[in-house]
Amino acid sequence: MKSYKVTLGLLLMNLFIAFLGIGLVIPVLPTLMNELGLTGTTVGYLTATFAIAQLIVSPLAGKAVDKIGRKIMIVIGLFVFGISEFLFGIGKEIEMLFISRVLGGISAAFIMPAVTAFIADITNLDTRPKALGYMSAAISTGFIIGPGIGGFLAEFGTRIPFYFAGGLGTLAAILSIILLSEPNREKENYEQSSKDKTGFKRIFAHKYFVAFILIFIASFGLAAFESFFSLFVDHKFQFTPSDIAIVITGGAIFGAVSQVVLFDKLTRIWGEIKLIRYSLLLSALLVFLMTVVHSYFSILLVTFIVFVGFDLFRPAVTSYLSNIAGNEQGFAGGMNSMFTSLANVSGPIIGGILFDIDINYPYYFATVIIVLGVVLTFFWKKPANESSTKVKVRVAAD
């Protein structure tokens, strides 16, 4: 395998590009709505189509990652991503845009579990938390920078951002073919696999099930928070678009930086399960506080900190899954992606219904759901045979 740093850097770049492409569409959606005569409902379905496609394909993609390999799934995913962005760029009919979003969801379903499994393969128990923290930061940074780049490139043409993303995806696929080598899968990761349940029954295996439920809960809370933040502060505080951009971008950057600085240290102090519990508790508190704060500074402070909770949760649960998944890294990554997608579909839909009743209700509901997740963590134990201590002893003995 090529240098660890080169490999990890390329994997992170692939994730960054994939999520950059998702963010690019945000600033040009109003223009596309006018160009194609789209309604808000249609745009909502267009947004949900990506998550639905990812939701459907993720379990199959996760299984394929374990069967046919990490590298080939990453490369295929990046080429599909490039095609998706080019189609969105040339699309003049709504049908083409929907096809593009379906392909986009499929590409994300391919890339996410493959990269997660790849990182698990090239790291050990000491280096994995930091690598997964970088992975989550790459995702967050793609979301953060995407709208800014999309807005800048749109000055040269509404479709230019999509051609740019398509070109980046294709270039990343070519670089992955040249620079990535299929990782070795250590024997020690596979010992428990022979007795594991097969097929979708594995979702309900004790070592996985609680983690998957918590992924859904946290993703649901984040989706409900982000989807209606702009409408919430517009209705309640008369925020301008620039105010919203400053708060969201600043909060996301603060969360990503905190993640890189804090995640590895906190994982070593508390372990994944306690870090997940405290991250959810922080998120629940901050989401609720959004309904009671009034000043611009307090809104800014709450939004900045709420991203810290969500951004620490994501790599913590990914680290937990990678440590207990053994030779099912692709399956675990695929389920991670699937439950995230499920929340990204249901969160905005339920939040929208509640928002029409009362603008505070989406945040009240998200708070209750996240608190249930906190309670669930108190009944959650890491499988004894997967403890870090035993693995370290076994590695030392080898």
> What is the count of structural domains for the chain?
2
Residue 297 lies in a domain: yes
160 and 254 in a common domain: no
Residue 237 lies in a domain: yes
User: pLDDT tens across 355-393, in order?
Assistant: 778 888 888 998 999 999 999 988 887 766 544 434 443
Specify the pLDDT at position 102.
Answer: 93
DSSP class per residue in 265-299? HHHHHH-HHHHHHHHHHHHHHHHHHTTT--SHHHH
259 and 378 in a common domain: yes
294 and 174 in a common domain: no
Specify the pLDDT at position 228.
Answer: 67
345 and 294 in a common domain: yes
Candidate from 76-90, 325-339, 377-391 with smallest mean pLDDT: 377-391
Residue 74 banded pLDDT, cuts 50, 70, 90: very high
374 and 237 in a common domain: yes
Residue 72 lies in a domain: yes
CATH number at residue 252: 1.20.1250.20
Rounded to the nearest 5°, which phi and psi values hold at 393? -60, -45
Spatial distance between the Cα atoms of 303 and 159, rounded to a whole number of angstroms:
31
Candidate from 4-18, 68-82, 280-294, 325-339 with smallest mean pLDDT: 325-339
319 token code pair? 């680290």
273 and 352 in a common domain: yes
Mean pLDDT, residues 14-19 taken together: 84
209 and 256 in a common domain: yes
Q: At what angle do helices 329-357 and 296-324 cross, to 10 degrees?
A: 150
Specify the pLDDT at position 244.
Answer: 66
Residue 352: which domain range? 200-382
175 and 317 in a common domain: no
Residue 281 lies in a domain: yes
Specify the pLDDT at position 395.
Answer: 39
127 and 60 in a common domain: yes
Residue 75 lies in a domain: yes
Q: What angle do CA 95, 340, 61 make, to 5 degrees?
A: 70
User: pLDDT tens across 134-164, in order?
Assistant: 887 787 677 667 766 777 787 788 888 889 9
Residue 167 lies in a domain: yes
271 CB-near residues (< 8 Å, 6+ apart): 382, 388
User: pLDDT tens across 50-73, in order?
Assistant: 878 888 888 888 889 988 889 999
Specify the pLDDT at position 110.
Answer: 92
Cβ contact 224:362 at 8 Å? yes
User: pLDDT tens across 220-256, in order?
Assistant: 887 777 766 766 777 777 776 567 667 767 777 787 7
Mean pLDDT, residues 192-215 taken together: 69
Cβ contact 198:208 at 8 Å? no
94 token code pair? 């709504």
306 and 177 in a common domain: no
Kindly report the average pLDDT of the chain as a whole number. Answer: 79
